[in-house]
Chain A
Amino acid sequence: MNARALRIGMKRGWTEHNHLLRTRKELLGTLIGTVGVFAALTLWMGDSTVEETGVPTITFMMVGFLAFTVFGTALMTFPMALVTDREEGTLLRLRTIPGGIPAYLAGRAVTALCQIAVQSVLIVAAGVLLGGAPLPHDWFTLAWVLLLGTVATVPLGAAIGCVLPSRNAVGVATLPLMALMFTSGVFIPVTLMPEVLQWTAQAFPLYWQGLGLRAAFLPDTMLAAEIGGSWRLPYVAAALAAWTVAGMLLAPPLIRRVTRRESGSRLAARQLAAQRS
């Protein structure tokens, strides 16, 4: 990958991020969709606390939303953007340009990072300012879990985006992710789940991301609700690292396959099919 393509790609990602901020529909979708729902929840829950711990429910929810933001952006918004770029011919355009594909990928990754950063800041701000949630007591853990969680999921998102045949298929792919959201302990303590679901949840990165973030925000009085009564941070690091490796191995060949197959007649055929339906 040459340095010029990388530099242009990063700039491209920043530009696209700004386009999103200027597009009302996108802005409403992401801001109201996640941050707005969370802010409403904050006001609605008021001062309730998680049973027997004295920890405000809203703190627990804030951490859940934070984990889910990373997960949702990397595994739903990001693949969706890849599919859209394919359908509109953006990917093909970059393919006609020397160094275009590496620049494109760098750009998409940067846009996803920007989206995650903006939403994370807004969620924490809403939680702290509206709901009176505390700031994290362990900034270092927060930083590495967010970063590793992002690095673990963005390549996976790229792989998903390459596999999805069309934008219509994105909805179908969202269903298992939603199921994962409810069973991964980010909104409902995982120890309340049947044991089978607990094991399933631990196979996916969302659980570990959530656990690591809870370690950064919640006091140890909450440990009763965790598996094994521990934050298990070494396991968090290991699980997220394993997913990072898996994504890095999976994504490049899929990306190569998809870009190699992209051509004008495929684009035309897709557009014709879209017009007919």
Chain B
Amino acid sequence: MSTAVSVRGLRMSYGAAEVLRGVDLEIRRGEIFTLLGPNGAGKTTTIEILEGFRKRSAGEVSVLGTDPGKATDAWRAKLGIVLQNWRDHARWGVRELIVHLSGFYDDPHDPGELLAAVGLDEQAGQQVGRLSGGQRRRLDVALGIVGRPELLFLDEPTTGFDPEARNDFHRLLARLAADDGMTVLLTTHDLVEAEKLAHRTAILSGGRIAVCGTPAELAQAVQAPSQVRWLEDGREQVMTTPDPSQAAWELHRRFGGPVPGLEIRRPSLEESYLGLIGRNV
């Protein structure tokens, strides 16, 4: 089976508020997939439905071949989950907690190797409550993968990280995914993160998947129109076009030579993304 997650027509309402209005997703085994969207788009809602923590209003959902609404322990053992804002088990030792939670699985990672893999061997004896934010999140990842999950969920794992910690975290995830052939679903509101980390990304906006694809496909799909400016009749002229090169060529022909004050501005991917979610929200 090459599909890890399959979602069709997923809908979710909180009372009268419809947060998801027909989400379709297909995540392949072994890929790192990001779900990108602004705050409040419904990323946490979506991921929690997939994790079996939340009952959907409508739609078909299959996670590793099972409907998350009918979660069993055997199914749960194949998932790893890293949530936003965890502060639990503050009194436990780092290693003590990893050893404790590894006991629940049939073939867990060796706690020592895992600590080394996430760069916490020096903190092994420390209390969990005393870890820094970045260390805490790396511990959360270690706890998420301790049972060798087939599918790892991460909900905005790098929120609040400085750029260096974020880079380290991306490298860690990429390595873990490559080593174990694990499928990873990560949510983020940061386009740059999605672009750097993911094999494929889906943009969640307006309760639907607006665009889905590889970083290159994404760039092409969301590319907002460029602006072409020039001087004519003593005034600045502006034209908005999806094909600025064609526009410049036509201007050259009209002027019969150089175009005065010609300027072409292609919006960055980030600007395009903001435009896209602005349009759909």
Given A23-B91, A265-B45, is A97 in contact with B76 using a C-beta cutoff of 8 Å?
yes
Which stretch from B81-89, B174-182, B199-207, B250-258 is at the chain A interface? B81-89
- B window 229-263: CB within 8 A of A: none
Contacts of A271 in B (CB 8 A): 85, 87
Is there contact, CB below 8 Å, between B48 and A264? yes
Interface presence of B161 (CB below 8 A): no
- B window 31-52: CB within 8 A of A: 44-45, 47-48, 51
Given A100-B104, A264-B48, is A90 in contact with B77 using a C-beta cutoff of 8 Å?
no
Which stretch from A4-12, A181-189, A244-252 is at the chain B interface? A4-12
Contacts of B48 in A (CB 8 A): 263-265
Is there contact, CB below 8 Å, between B84 and A88? no
Q: Please, what's the 1-or-0 string for A163-203, where 1 marks a CB less than 8 Å from any CB in chain B?
A: 00000000000000000000000000000000000000000
Q: Please, what's the 1-or-0 string for B53-75, where 1 marks a CB less than 8 Å from any CB in chain A?
A: 11000000000000000000110
- From the candidates B51, B74, B83, name the one contacting A98 in the complex (CB within 8 A): B74
Contacts of A85 in B (CB 8 A): 88
Q: Which residue in chain A gives the minimum CB-CB distance to B90?
A: A88
Is there contact, CB below 8 Å, between B91 and A19? yes
Contacts of A36 in B (CB 8 A): none
Interface presence of B101 (CB below 8 A): yes
Interface presence of A96 (CB below 8 A): yes
Is there contact, CB below 8 Å, between A267 and B103? no
Is there contact, CB below 8 Å, between B83 and A89? yes
The dominant DSSP class at the A interface is helix
Docked pose: A268 CA to B81 CA in angstroms: 15
Q: Please, what's the 1-or-0 string for A75-114, where 1 marks a CB less than 8 Å from any CB in chain B?
A: 0000000000100111011011111100100000000000
Contacts of A264 in B (CB 8 A): 44, 47-48, 53, 83-85, 155
Given A15-B96, A263-B48, A265-B48, is A98 in contact with B104 using a C-beta cutoff of 8 Å?
yes
Is there contact, CB below 8 Å, between B76 and A96? yes
Q: Which residue in chain B gives the minimum CB-CB distance to A20?
A: B91
Of A90, A92, A264, the most chain B CB neighbours within 10 A belong to: A264
Docked pose: A229 CA to B86 CA in angstroms: 56
Question: Shortest distance in angstroms between B28's beta carbon and chain A's nearest beta carbon?
Answer: 23
Q: Please, what's the 1-or-0 string for A15-27, where 1 marks a CB less than 8 Å from any CB in chain B?
A: 1100100010000
Question: Shortest distance in angstroms between B51's beta carbon and chain A's nearest beta carbon?
Answer: 7
- A window 236-277: CB within 8 A of B: 262-265, 267-268, 271
Question: Shortest distance in angstroms between A243's beta carbon and chain B's nearest beta carbon?
Answer: 31
Q: Interface size on A (CB < 8 Å)?
A: 30
Q: Which residue in chain B gives the minimum CB-CB distance to A90?
A: B88
Of B86, B90, B96, the most chain A CB neighbours within 10 A belong to: B86
Interface presence of B100 (CB below 8 A): yes
Is there contact, CB below 8 Å, between B44 and A268? yes
Is there contact, CB below 8 Å, between B53 and A98? no
Is there contact, CB below 8 Å, between A263 and B53? yes
Docked pose: A2 CA to B47 CA in angstroms: 28
Q: Which residue in chain A gives the minimum CB-CB distance to B83?
A: A264
Contacts of A92 in B (CB 8 A): 83, 86, 88
Contacts of B91 in A (CB 8 A): 16, 19, 23
Contacts of B79 in A (CB 8 A): 96
Is there contact, CB below 8 Å, between B104 and A89? no
Docked pose: A8 CA to B103 CA in angstroms: 7
Q: Please, what's the 1-or-0 string for B214-227, where 1 marks a CB less than 8 Å from any CB in chain A?
A: 00000000000000
Docked pose: A19 CA to B127 CA in angstroms: 11
Contacts of B87 in A (CB 8 A): 88-89, 271
- B window 83-114: CB within 8 A of A: 83-92, 96, 100-101, 103-105
Contacts of B92 in A (CB 8 A): 15, 19
Is there contact, CB below 8 Å, between B44 and A97? no
Docked pose: A15 CA to B84 CA in angstroms: 26
Contacts of B105 in A (CB 8 A): 98
Is there contact, CB below 8 Å, between A93 and B89? yes
Q: Which residue in chain A gives the minimum CB-CB distance to B44?
A: A265
Contacts of B86 in A (CB 8 A): 89, 92-93, 267
Q: Which residue in chain B gives the minimum CB-CB distance to A107?
A: B100
Q: Which residue in chain B gives the minimum CB-CB distance to A264?
A: B83
Contacts of A4 in B (CB 8 A): 103-104
- B window 148-182: CB within 8 A of A: 155
Q: List 16 A-B contacts (CB under 8 A).
A: A2-B73, A5-B104, A11-B103, A15-B92, A88-B87, A89-B83, A90-B88, A92-B83, A96-B51, A97-B147, A98-B105, A99-B104, A100-B104, A263-B54, A265-B48, A268-B44
Q: Which residues of B contact A (CB under 8 A)?
A: 44-45, 47-48, 51, 53-54, 73-74, 76-77, 79, 81, 83-92, 96, 100-101, 103-105, 143, 147, 155
**Contacts A267-B83, A267-B84 known; 12 new A-B pairs at CB < 8 A:** A19-B92, A89-B88, A95-B53, A96-B51, A96-B83, A97-B101, A99-B73, A99-B104, A262-B53, A263-B54, A264-B53, A267-B86
Which 6 residue pairs across A and B have the least CB separation, nearest first? Answer: A98-B73, A90-B88, A264-B83, A96-B81, A89-B88, A19-B91
